[in-house]
Amino acid sequence: MGGGLFYEGVLGVKTYTVVKGQYSFQVSLYDAETGKLLCYTQANRLGQLGTGATTAVAAKYLTHNPDVTVGILVLDPKAATQLEAVSKVRNITNIKAFSRTESSRKLFAENMSDALQVPVTAGAQRKKLSEILTS
The rounded mean pLDDT for the chain is 89
Closest CA to 5 of 26, 29, 27: 29
Per-domain boundaries in the chain: 2-42, 54-134
Residue 18 confidence (pLDDT): 95
Q: Which among 75, 77, 71, 70 has a CA at the least distance from the CA of 50? A: 77
Average pLDDT, integer, range 2-23: 95
The whole model's pTM is what?
0.75
| pLDDT surpasses 70 at 89 | yes
Supply the pLDDT for residue 134: 59
The residues that bridge with 67 in the sheet, in sequence order, are 91
User: Which CATH topology does 54-134 take?
Assistant: Rossmann fold (3.40.50)
| Distance, CA of 42 to CA of 87 (rounded, Å) | 26
pLDDT at position 128 over 80: no
Q: pLDDT-based confidence at 57, cuts 50/70/90?
A: very high
pLDDT of residue 20: 96
